[in-house]
Amino acid sequence: MKRSIRLLSLALVLALALPLVAAASSYVSGDNRGQGPIFNRAIVLASRITMRDQPSLKGKTITRVPGGSEVTLISDANGWVQATYVDDKGNSYTGYLRDRYLAKNPVVLTLRQSGVAALAAPDHNAKHVGDLPRYTVLPVIGTWGNYYIVSLRNASAFVSMDIKAWTDTELAIYKNNVPFNLVTLRKTPLYTGPGTDWQKVGDAKEGTTLVAVGPPEYGWYPVQYDTKFIAFVNGADVHPPQ
């Protein structure tokens, strides 16, 4: 009975998510056919799908791609996409996947707070399937009311739209800026946003060089944090850029 309920829940999520995915005849680098700034990617919605050597169920199996995996899109036609998948060991595979099991070019959220509840259903009283830490990356595969449907750990979950998060579009702006260095004047706290009301992520020691990735926002500089994330430092705590 429990297995039937789980399968029904997955089918319901897929039914909701799939109509939100835009179809495209081909994928060209820089051609925005989705909603995010990275245009040639897709997220696997099913628990596992088969990659074949031709766009047909008669094609030979190349590999099986786990749910939640990201693939790079090459082209599509007649319900199939040609794509490249790189597994956890760095092995690369190129073949054909069924279009219906993919969310193409999804918006991706990066959490700016900890303790975000991942839920089994779009209700704050639903079962928690995880409490997510800051900087968790969540591909959005659909929406339901005031909740995002996200890809999480090879499955689907719901998170409230009230969360504090960056979209990949917002983060892309920082990545496109010319970086410059700032040096801390004292032990300096770092936050996930421009102000002390945002969540603190750590401290930088006096004399630490921070790489700023944009102009100050309300007096706070966005800086690189842990090489791939963004944090904010108060402009009063650093030497101004030369």
- State the pLDDT at residue 242: 64
Residue 167 lies in a domain: no
Residue 189 lies in a domain: yes
Indicate the pLDDT class of residue 211, thresholds 50, 70 and 90. very high
Is the residue at 27 inside a domain?
Answer: yes
- In degrees to the nearest 10, what's the CA dihedral of 70, 76, 79, 83? -30
Looking at 104, 137, 155, the residue that finishes a domain is 104
Is the pLDDT reported for residue 170 higher than 90?
Answer: no
Spell 203-241 as b/e; 16+ CB within 10 A means b.
ebeeeeebebbbebeeebbbbebeeebbbbbbbebbeee
Confidence bin at 234 (pLDDT 50/70/90):
very high
* Residue 14 in domain: no
Q: How many domains does the chain have?
A: 2
Whether 195 is covered by a domain: the verdict is yes
> For position 32, what pLDDT does the model report?
36
Residue 53 lies in a domain: yes
Per-residue pLDDT band for 88 (boundaries 50, 70, 90) equals confident
> Three-state secondary structure along 47-90?
CEEEEECCCCCCCCEEEEEECCCEEEEEEEECCEEEEEEECCCC
* Burial class of residue 174 (count of CB atoms within 10 Å of its CB; 0-12, 13-18, 19+): middle
- pTM of the complete model beyond 0.75: no
Q: What is the pLDDT of residue 39?
A: 62
**Residue 223: pLDDT over 90:** yes
Between 192 and 47, the higher pLDDT residue:
192
Q: Does position 140 have pLDDT exceeding 70, yes or no? A: yes
Amino acid at 164: K
Q: In the predicted model, what is the mean pLDDT of residues 230-239?
A: 95
Which range is least confidently modeled, 5-19, 77-91, 114-128, 180-194?
5-19
Residue 145 in any domain: the answer is: no
Q: pLDDT-derived band of residue 241, with 50, 70 and 90 as boundaries?
A: confident
Q: Is position 64 within any domain?
A: yes
Out of 81, 104, 127, a domain closes at 104
Last residue of a domain, one of 104, 123, 153: 104
Residue ranges making up the domain that contains 99: 22-104
- Residue whose C-alpha is closest to residue 133's, from 66, 45, 192: 192
More confident residue, 37 or 197: 197
pLDDT digits (tens, 9 = 90+) for 89-118: 999 999 999 988 888 888 889 999 999 999
pLDDT score of 10 more than 70: no
CATH of residue 185 = 2.30.30.40
Highest-pLDDT range among 109-118, 170-179, 221-230:
109-118
